[in-house]
Structure 1
Amino acid sequence: MMNRLKALICGAILACTGAGAATAQELTMAVWGGGGANTWREAFIKQFAPGNGSTIKMVEVPNPAGALRSPAAANQYSLALVTYFEAIALSNAGLIESFDDKQLPGIADVDPKYLTKDKAGRHVGLPVYFTYYGIAYNTDLAKAEDLASWQGLADPKWKGKLSLTRPTYLAPYDAVIMAKAMGGSEKDIDPGFKLLEKIVPNVLATYTSLAHMNTLLTRGEVAAVPFYASRVWALRRQGAANVGIVIPKEGALMLPYVVVVPKGAKNLDKSLVWMNYIAGAEPQLRAALLDGWLPMNSKVKLPEDLQKTLGQPYEQIVKSLYSPDWRIIVEHNEARVDRAEKLLSGVKQ
């Protein structure tokens, strides 16, 4: 009986050890909830076969960068998808790992001007794809020519027919591209806020999530909104024929997304295998075909039919985009978010 008991105990210990080992091999990556997580699964995870026993699990959260600010982040997540300005802010706060070229050889196919580095010149993340921030509109209520300029949003005819995002993103996104449109820049932000002051009287409500904005736009509750091109393309693929996206004559804001690793996260070697895999041309092409995510890998060649869906050639889109100095944006972000909060204080949510 005693021998049998010992055998059962040993078996239980081995089972637990095996389960622990399996869990240790699983990488968890924090991403925004919604369709984006599905694209990661379809375009990247399904074809991932590292040969080292590791698996990838997408964990959908409201704000991946916010999740990494938790003291427990290193134990909860192996990686996270964040925006450029969030990657820089997390790096400045010492909350994410940094890497050299040897650790991330896949980064060699990214245009150097789009790399995110810390003050020591080390990579703070892997740029995977980008979208752009233009003007989305309901085609039943507005025309592309109505929105050929960012200043078009200030036209009184749009009173009660527009929407804007929350201050958290209004400050680093809307204010910056509108400053550029009005002759300023991320360094000279006043022209952007002055234009926003003229637009706010036309705003019906600020949107609190992408799903919220999708509803407002497709139902015609608002005519136009500064929004993400990838979300408009996704809506159109889902059957919403009454939405479009405009790159105003002054340009649209380029929004790259970066995969980062929490400081002290386990299985760093396996996370690097995953990062170098997603840096490749093939998975990035699949993501472009599925969800309109524009590749950061310069070797990706988009097919003609996809470029027609995008409305213009890839190269032309890139030429129309404004890529600011995100370090300047991070440096001044807190004060600008406060300014945006005051600006929107009278707008309902």
Structure 2
Amino acid sequence: MPATRNIQVLSLVATSLAALSVPATVLGAEALYVAGFGGSTQKAFEEQIIPGFEARTGAKVTYVPGNSTDTLAKLIAQKSKEDVSIAMLDDGQMSQAVEQNLCMPLPAFPMLNDIYPKARMSGGKAVGFGFYATGLGYNKGVFAKNGWATPTSWNDLGDPKYKGKVSIAPISSYGMMALVMIARANGGNEEKIEPGFEAMAKKVSPNVLAWEASPATMAQMFQTGEAALIVWGNTRVQPVVDQGAPVAFVYPKEGAVLGMVTACVINGGPKPKLAQRFLEEVLSPAAQVQLAKWAALGPTNSKAKLEPDVARNVVYGPDQVGALVPLDWSVINLKRPDWTKRWNREVER
């Protein structure tokens, strides 16, 4: 997700900035402060990746979870006095971080040659460490009960039969991807967004039960069938499947959005060399396997080898990676403020 004038969330920073403050006891000679994702990704790092890194380096890694929008806002607010050494963000927000000069150039380590080209972000300052696909999730129980066929298109979100059964996150999250992909499904694109707004306002919005920002609430609504058709990532749908719910992820015929969780070494942050070592650890085949197993993130390192029972639940291999649709975040970020105002006025009202 030109100069980024679109960080409107900064007005919220004053109340939450303390969450990114590092205690004095952490700022020792070998301390590393990592701002990352919560949920299964946090668990994978804290239980599978960080302990080995600490044992090999003698470092103390403090992992503080948060969503990408809030983390980005806090990093911007702390610019030039950063406590963070490594930041992990969704690709849209990471593109904004790079535009804000928050990231150092990537170190020239050989492992980068093994990273899929789609995971190397433009500018050479950030890199994807996990792929995911954004598409449609549906509750198979509700669909079977109503005699509905499996959804196949982004335009299905606007089918009147799903009135009151659709849930989408706001435009600051999955809503943006839905807007762009519905525009593409109707002859538009990032440069020509009008078909997306027209379909979202006139067809999709009347079907929406909730513009749900909370992953936990979305998961509950999805699991119970209160929300039977949603826009979500495969990494979000899979844990609900693992809990035994009758849900599934769909790659729409127009394509699922290429999603990445990304990382960069923070410009001006403490311990940059140690941070670079941590980034190498995250991109290693061993760590990539753990992220696939525990967080359903598809490997961005082409040398990572997954067992079949893991591979079938993630984006894996050159064919699947190549099939995902990348979004033009440079265009989206430039137009985000205007689109957000229009969304709030016409779509999520």
**1:136-175 residue pairs with structure 2 within 5 A?**
136-142=137-143, 145-170=149-174, 172-175=176-179
CA drift of 1:184 comes to: 2.3
**1:96-111 residue pairs with structure 2 within 5 A?**
96-102=102-108, 104-111=109-116
2:64 maps to 59
> How many Å separate the matches in 1 of 2:25 and 2:200?
53
Structure 1 spans left out of the alignment, 5+ residues: 1-18
> How many Å separate the matches in 2 of 1:21 and 1:205?
40
CA 1:195–1:345 in structure 2 vs 1: closer, same or farther (change >3 Å)?
closer
CA drift of 1:146 comes to: 3.4
1:323 maps to 326
> What SS does structure 2 have at the residue aligned with 1:44?
helix
Cα RMSD of the aligned pairs, angstroms, is 2.4
CA drift of 1:50 comes to: 6.8
CA 1:217–1:74 in structure 2 vs 1: closer, same or farther (change >3 Å)?
farther
> What SS does structure 2 have at the residue aligned with 1:48?
helix
CA 1:39–1:334 in structure 2 vs 1: closer, same or farther (change >3 Å)?
same
**1:63-102 residue pairs with structure 2 within 5 A?**
63-71=70-78, 74-94=81-101, 96-102=102-108
CA drift of 1:59 comes to: 0.4
Moved more, 151-160 or 162-171: 162-171
CA drift of 1:180 comes to: 2.3
Are the counterparts in 1 of residues 234 and 249 from structure 2 also a CA contact under 8 Å?
A: yes
> What SS does structure 1 have at the residue aligned with 2:276?
helix
Structure 2 spans left out of the alignment, 5+ residues: 1-23
**1:149-228 residue pairs with structure 2 within 5 A?**
149-170=153-174, 172-197=176-201, 198-228=203-233
> What SS does structure 1 have at the residue aligned with 2:76?
coil
CA drift of 1:305 comes to: 2.0
1:72-110 per-residue CA deviation (whole Å, 9 max, x = no partner) reads 68443221111122112122222x1221452x4432211
Q: 2:48 aligns with which of 26, 39, 43?
A: 43
CA 1:209–1:54 in structure 2 vs 1: closer, same or farther (change >3 Å)?
same
Structure 1 runs (4+) greater than 4 angstroms displaced: 19-22, 312-316
What is the percent sequence identity of the aligned residues?
25
> How many Å separate the matches in 2 of 1:220 and 1:247?
20
CA 1:270–1:153 in structure 2 vs 1: closer, same or farther (change >3 Å)?
same
1:9 maps to none
Are the counterparts in 1 of residues 136 and 232 from structure 2 also a CA contact under 8 Å?
A: yes
> How many Å separate the matches in 2 of 1:75 and 1:319?
36
TM-score (norm: length of structure 1): 0.84
1:247 is the counterpart of 2:251: yes
> How many Å separate the matches in 2 of 1:281 and 1:320?
22
2:285 maps to 281
> What SS does structure 2 have at the residue aligned with 1:264?
coil
Q: Matched residue pairs, number?
A: 320
2:125 maps to 124
2:266 maps to 262
> How many Å separate the matches in 1 of 2:316 and 2:77?
41
CA 1:343–1:42 in structure 2 vs 1: closer, same or farther (change >3 Å)?
farther
1:336 is the counterpart of 2:342: no
CA 1:281–1:138 in structure 2 vs 1: closer, same or farther (change >3 Å)?
same
1:135 maps to 136
CA 1:345–1:292 in structure 2 vs 1: closer, same or farther (change >3 Å)?
closer
Are the counterparts in 1 of residues 168 and 175 from structure 2 also a CA contact under 8 Å?
A: no
> What SS does structure 2 have at the residue aligned with 1:167?
coil
> How many Å separate the matches in 2 of 1:44 and 1:20?
22
> What SS does structure 1 have at the residue aligned with 2:143?
coil
Moved more, 67-76 or 57-66: 67-76
CA 1:43–1:327 in structure 2 vs 1: closer, same or farther (change >3 Å)?
farther
Are the counterparts in 2 of residues 29 and 78 from structure 1 also a CA contact under 8 Å?
A: yes
CA 1:187–1:110 in structure 2 vs 1: closer, same or farther (change >3 Å)?
farther
